Amino acid sequence: MKYKSLGNTDLKVSLICLGTMTWGEQNTQEEAFEQMDYSLDQGVNFFDTAELYSVPTKETTYTRTETMIGNWFAERNNREKVILATKVAGPGLSWIRGGGNQFDINNITQALEGSLQRLKTDYIDLYQLHWPERSTNFFSKLGYKHNDNEGSWTAFEDILATAQKFINQGKIRHLGLSNETPYGLSKYLNLSELKNYPRVVSVQNPYSLINRTYEVGLAEMSVREKVGLLAYSPLAFGMLSGKYLNGQMPEGSRLKLYSKNFPRYQGTRSQLAVEEYYKVAQKHGLSLTQMSLAFVNMQAFVDSNIIGATKLDQLKENINSVHIELSEEMIAEINAIHENNPSPAP
């Protein structure tokens, strides 16, 4: 395994992070335990979850994933071996504390205490804001249009003050963002510097061969400010595994089960791009999965690549991507495809 510093901290996280969002929906607790055991044995020391998991999120299944991880910690007695990340949900889900703004001190307190209880731990290494309260671009939305009627949202400074409280109490170690924009990240960083608040250490946003929008504004910030990307959906909901090529729709696959929930991965431009990337991988003797993950792994602005799998053989291939080095020729061919069809699945 390879390791990188998490932002500007002294935490060394594995380049591969174990994503967990299928546990409790597509995977049983027994399968979750198997994945965690295998990952830890392979040197993966970084696990990512969220209070709203599993996905697609439902009132009947949210919190299940954290509960499974907590049960594993209790049974294995190995909490200290894992750098653990979880998230407080953003607004909009009525069954999570009423669905309104979630980042005021009362809601974050309730969310954090619930996560600590389910995870059977006294502290969270990285506590993340799952998506912004304000009206902005995330979850495939591009082309910012300001909403004059967006309503109120929790001030950045108040969120940082709340984080400071829980860091002082030892309940969280570091603060991270998710589905965030350059504006949001810059505001948090500036306030931290001006008022000596805790510093954001990471941004968890989507990044893959068919979604390189992170490179436009946030990548430079990640490198210069040492606030690394935790790349999620590096295989674009399985599109970049190649299993949907030629119109295939395998039984039990995510798009077969949940295509209506994730339309952004299924457009014609995405399919065309995947076909072209598949040709490059085949030409150079790699699977599309290996090439796609290796491309994410090599980026200087990426601190960790969050992989998720429903089957153990998928997990093994994903973790093994740390050993794949892409040649200059391959990178040039990948970039040529990107230039012709940039980020078709933002």
The catalytic site residues sit at 53
Look at the alpha carbons of 103, 109, 110, 115 in this order and tell me if their dihedral is positive or negative. positive
Comparing C-alpha atoms, which of 172, 28, 8, 183 is closest to residue 87? 172
Tell me how far apart the alpha carbons of residues 178 and 126 are, in angstroms, rounded to a whole number.
12
Q: Are 288 and 277 in contact (CB under 8 A)?
A: yes
| Upstream peptide bond of 56 is cis (omega within 30 degrees of 0) | yes
| HEC secondary structure over 299-311 | CCCEEEEEECCCC
Tell me how far apart the alpha carbons of residues 156 and 219 are, in angstroms, rounded to a whole number.
21
Would you state the structure tokens that stand for residue 277, as one six-digit string? Answer: 């990337």
Q: Are 84 and 44 in contact (CB under 8 A)?
A: no
Residue type, 100: G
| SS3 (DSSP) at 83 | strand
